[in-house]
Amino acid sequence: MIFHTYLSLSKWKIYSRLVRDFAISNVEIVLDLEDSVGDPFSEAKTIKLKAMARTGLRSLSESEVFKSLYHKNLIRINAVNSPYFFDDISILQELVNNKTLKPKIILPKIESVEHVDIVSSCFLGCEDFEVIPMIETKSAFENLEEILRSLGDYIQKGIVKSLYWGYFDYALDCWQFPFFEYDDEDYWNLLHSFQASLVPYHLAFCAPIFPYFSEEILCGVKKRFSVFNNVIMSSLGTRQTNILLKENINTDYFSLKKYQLSLEEKVNRAKEIIDGFEASRRLGSDRSFALTQAGRFISPHEYKSAVNFLKEI
């Protein structure tokens, strides 16, 4: 099984420490310019953090350790309709032309093949060019079959070899609250449905990040994914990755549940998420995600969903 471990480029200086553990393992490093770089409360801070991350990527690309792991580095850019997209493309073109960055790009929030066309047109003639589209909206999920058919030429040429389902953005776009837990039967039904759609196209399924640091939960999730065909698991930093890389963990399959929360339970959950996110952010204002004392991280997507839910009731 291959693993994608995410490194926020707002923290590019820890790259050498991160890759030291994974240089000879089946881990690819996802250098992230998107969700992990920004401040959900401040556009001005986000603009500054994005610029710093791109500058950091240029500095990182000049290091010998980075160059030595050319084949293991991926980059997640901002979406085509993002105000940061062309700035991301500009720095990528520079580094790809300098042969310091492999043109293997994770492209968020695609809605159609046209988004892949736009990125592809920026790297014409590049060797090893690859795009991993991310399905992250309700409309893209519902039109998955049409998107897969329209990607046919890219799949044939080996430019698209895998597809992500970005659950956090998807749930927020669907106005879903609460987000699924790791053992929710409905969640795993959607995961199986998504992965099954990829099988006829021989595409790898890049699974969403699970927001937990419990060894029991993560190893249980890994065991469930082990029966999937051609799956790539995602992780957040060294802590999750080191757990997932462990072999021969004696973990039982966890039972799946049907969650049916009352309105009161949903309200309490929303308040817990909001309080946990805001308390964690007070400890580090440059964080995009929050980490609770219970060892679970809260994405800005889940935080926004909780806020939206309380406004609607």
Q: Is the pLDDT of residue 237 over 90?
A: no
For the stretch 173-185, pLDDT in tens is: 999 999 999 899 9
The answer as to whether 74 is a domain residue is yes
The answer as to whether 274 is a domain residue is no
pLDDT of 19 reads 76
Stronger pLDDT, 26 or 20, i.e. the higher one: 26
Q: Is the pLDDT of residue 278 over 90?
A: no
Is 242 within 8 Å of 213 (Cβ atoms)? no
The answer as to whether 289 is a domain residue is no
For the stretch 126-165, pLDDT in tens is: 888 999 999 999 999 999 999 999 999 999 999 999 999 9
Average pLDDT over residues 121-130: 90
Q: Is the pLDDT of residue 214 over 70?
A: yes
Q: Is the pLDDT of residue 51 over 90?
A: yes
Both structure tokens of 77 = 């850019």
CA–CA distance, 35 with 171 (Å, rounded to integer): 15
Which residues have CB under 8 Å from 209's CB, separation 6+?
A: 6, 168, 234, 235, 236, 240
Stronger pLDDT, 146 or 289, i.e. the higher one: 146
Q: Is the pLDDT of residue 205 over 80?
A: yes
pLDDT of 248 reads 65
The answer as to whether 256 is a domain residue is no
The answer as to whether 241 is a domain residue is yes
Total domain count, the chain? 1
Mean pLDDT of the chain: 90
pLDDT of 50 reads 96
pLDDT of 151 reads 97
The answer as to whether 264 is a domain residue is no
User: Please, which pLDDT band fits residue 117 given cuts at 50, 70 and 90?
Assistant: very high
pLDDT of 59 reads 93
The answer as to whether 28 is a domain residue is yes
Q: Is the pLDDT of residue 285 over 60?
A: no
User: Please, which pLDDT band fits residue 213 given cuts at 50, 70 and 90?
Assistant: confident
Is 184 within 8 Å of 257 (Cβ atoms)? yes
Q: Is the pLDDT of residue 100 over 70?
A: yes
- For residue 198, what are the domain limits? 2-249
Q: Is the pLDDT of residue 287 over 70?
A: no
DSSP string, the chain: -EEEEEEEGGGGGGHHHHHHHHTTTTEEEEEESSTTSS-TT-HHHHHHHHHHHHHHHHHHHTSHHHHHTGGGEEEE---TTSTTHHHHHHHHHHHHHTTSS--EEEE-S--SHHHHHHHHHTTTT-TT-EEEEEE-SHHHHHTHHHHHHHTHHHHHTTS--EEEE-HHHHHHHTT-SSPPPTTBHHHHHHHHHHHHHHGGGT-EEEPPPP-B--HHHHHHHHHHHTTSSSEEEEEEHHHHHHHHT--S---PPPPPB-----HHHHHHHHHHHHHHHHHHHTT-TT-SSEE-TTSBEE-HHHHHHHHHHHHH-
CATH of residue 106's domain is 3.20.20.60
The answer as to whether 306 is a domain residue is no
